[in-house]
């Protein structure tokens, strides 16, 4: 499906990446997880002790850091960070880091360059509005905060990560507010996006709904 991109936006913990993974496999497309890219920036800044206000140090980091994917594995400067970037601490830090104009500009440029030839399923928060406004299909996934908190809690427990449901719920609500109120590329539904509320849907049901839209666009 060269020349054909699918944009999947939505709130934190709504299942964007999981759906995008399955859809990419089913359609012989490539999944670009933009959230993982921002998480890598947050991890790199934390490890380097960079003050977000220090524009020179931040720009130097952005110019030199390397992010790559191998299937579902994520690498930062050739070091696998798949697990490290999924902690609750990095999730909270990512929302603040992603609001920085320099970070947004660098990641948006990389994402647009990567997907220029098409054939990608891209998930994030500003894909249909900023990164790929001309995407053939735009999806906006939503779900009640309580449903998202339960999913994330269960995911952490399955991975053996200590988790507190009430803390996760509060973090999700805070992340929603930060994402939708930032001045640069805030989270919002594109006017021509199809919204799917996943609160009471299984992952397979979400994938089936999006797949029907992909099949329709192929005709």
N residues, the chain: 219
Enter the tokens of residue 158.
């399955």
For 107-149, the pLDDT digits (tens) are 999 999 999 999 999 999 999 999 999 999 999 999 999 999 9
Average pLDDT over residues 59-74: 92
Percent of the chain with pLDDT over 90: 74
117-121, 157-161, 209-213: which range is least confident on average? 157-161
Domain boundaries, the chain: 6-214
Please state the pTM of the whole predicted model: 0.85
The class level of CATH for 6-214 reads: alpha beta
Give SS3 for 51: coil
Rounded to the nearest 10 degrees, how much is the dihedral formed by the CA atoms of 182, 141, 128, 186? 0
Tell me: pLDDT of 1 over 50: no
Confidence of residue 150 (pLDDT cuts 50, 70, 90): very high
Tell me: pLDDT of 96 over 90: no
Beta bridge partners of 68: 75
Closest listed residue to residue 84, CA positions, set 204, 188, 93 = 93
Computed over every residue of the chain, the mean pLDDT equals: 92
The pLDDT of residue 3 is 67
């Amino acid at each position: 499906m060269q020349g054909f991109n699918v944009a999947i936006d939505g709130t934190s913990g709504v299942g964007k990446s999981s759906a995008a993974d399955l859809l990419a496999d089913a359609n012989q497309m490539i999944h670009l997880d933009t959230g993982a890219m921002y998480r890598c920036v947050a991890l790199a800044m934390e490890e380097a002790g960079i003050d977000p206000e220090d524009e020179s140090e931040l720009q130097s980091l952005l110019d030199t850091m390397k992010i790559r994917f191998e299937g579902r594995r994520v690498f930062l400067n050739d070091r696998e960070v798949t697990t490290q970037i999924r902690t609750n601490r990095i999730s909270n830090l990512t929302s603040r880091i992603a609001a920085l104009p320099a970070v947004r500009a660098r990641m948006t440029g990389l994402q647009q360059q990567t997907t220029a030839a098409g054939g990608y399923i891209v998930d994030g928060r500003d894909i249909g509005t900023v990164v790929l406004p001309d995407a053939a299909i735009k999806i906006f996934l939503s779900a009640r905060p309580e449903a998202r908190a339960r999913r994330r809690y269960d995911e952490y427990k399955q991975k053996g990560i200590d988790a507190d449901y009430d803390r996760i719920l509060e973090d999700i609500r805070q992340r929603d507010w930060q994402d939708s109120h930032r001045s640069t590329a805030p989270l919002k539904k594109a006017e021509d996006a199809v919204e799917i509320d996943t609160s009471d849907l299984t992952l397979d049901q979400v994938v089936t709904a999006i797949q029907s839209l992909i099949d329709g666009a192929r005709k």
